[in-house]
Structure 1
C-alpha cells in the first residue's frame, strides 16, 4: 500500500511512518506543496530498485555502443519498429 502525506505530517509522524514501512512493507509518498518530492520505501525494495537501475544502465550502455555508428533518425526508426513488432505479437 502507498500512503501519501505532506512533508509537515511526515516530520510529525516520522516514527510511525518508519514502522509502517518496516513492518507492513508499505511505502510513503511525501509531497511538498501538493507535488511528490520523495518516497520512503523498505530497504528490500530500495535494493531491488538499485539493482534494476544498474541493469538498465548497463543495457542502455550496450545499446548506445551498438548504435554508435548509426545516424540518430535511422536508429530511432529501427527501435520504434522493434517496439511496434513486439507489441503486435502480444
Structure 2
C-alpha cells in the first residue's frame, strides 16, 4: 500500500514510517507543499528497480538482434498494424 505524508509529518514519524516500510512492505510518498518530492520504499523493491535498466537494455538488444534482418519500413508497418488491431478490439 502507498501512503502519502507531508515532509514535516514524515520527519516527526520517521521511526514509524521505517517500520511500515520494513515490516509491512508499504511505500511512503513524501510531499512538500502538496507536491511529491521523494518516496521511501522497501529495500527489496529498490533492488528490483535498480536492476530494471540493465534488464531493459538486454531485452532491447535481444529484440534488435532478432529483427536485424527485417527492413525498417516493414517493421514499422507491422507495429502500425498491431496497434490498429488492438485499438479496433476495444
TM-score clears 0.5: yes
Alignment correspondent of 2:24: 24
TM (norm. structure 1) is 0.67
Alignment correspondent of 2:5: 5
Count of aligned pairs between the two proteins: 87
CA distance in 2, matches of 1:76, 1:57: 20
CA RMSD of aligned residues (A): 3.1
Structure 2 gap segments, 5+ residues each: none
TM (norm. structure 2) is 0.67
Instruction: Find the residue that maps to 1:39 and give its secondary structure.
Output: strand
Alignment correspondent of 2:54: 54
Q: Which runs of 4+ in 1 moved over 3 A?
A: 57-67, 75-90
Larger Rg: 2
